[in-house]
Amino acid sequence: MVFIFQTYKVEGKSMEPNLYEGQRLIVDKITYRFRPPKPGEVVVIKPKDPTKKFVKRVIATEGQNLQISNGTLRINGLPVHEPYIMEEMYDDFEWTIIPRGTVFVMGDNRNRSMDSRDERNVGFVPLENVVGRAILVYWPFNQAKIIKTPELKGDWDVPDIEFND
């Protein structure tokens, strides 16, 4: 069963107001063997320190461009409506293209999250460091819920991007 699903304990406040410290999740480890993560999905990742695991939200995938300016996240130049975040972001992030084979992740509590904006500790997350997709909060019982992926508004697909390897 560990090869298909795994449990994970939320640590810290980076995913508030949607996930809270101490909650326990069931993580699907099979989906990403058949397809890459999609923007909006909540995932468990291994950051650059292999002894740790973080829970974050996929914001952008390979070939997409991303920028944060004046508290607004833009994917492929279009503003993204993010109803799941705790508060407006304080810091900007320069325009960048997400490299091949990676995802850009952020916590929902943007101003208290160590995520892809922190190049030293997380940076772009290689697909092999995405442990799985968080699908269910099962503990505490009174907070049990299915973790839904929000429908992000806009056309984020980038056709036939060429990478210079």
Please state whether the peptide bond connecting residue 37 to the residue before it is cis, i.e. omega within 30 degrees of 0.
no
**Token duo for residue 86:** 């705790």
**Could you tell me whether strands 130-139 and 42-45 are parallel, antiparallel, or unpaired per DSSP bridges?**
antiparallel
- Active-site residue list: 14, 56
How far apart, in Å, are the Cα atoms of 36 and each of 53, 102, 163?
19, 9, 18
**Token duo for residue 93:** 């992030």
Return d(Cα 60, Cα 76) in angstroms, integer: 10
**Token duo for residue 37:** 């993560």
Place of tokens 């819920």: 145
How far apart, in Å, are the Cα atoms of 139 and each of 19, 111, 132?
11, 26, 18
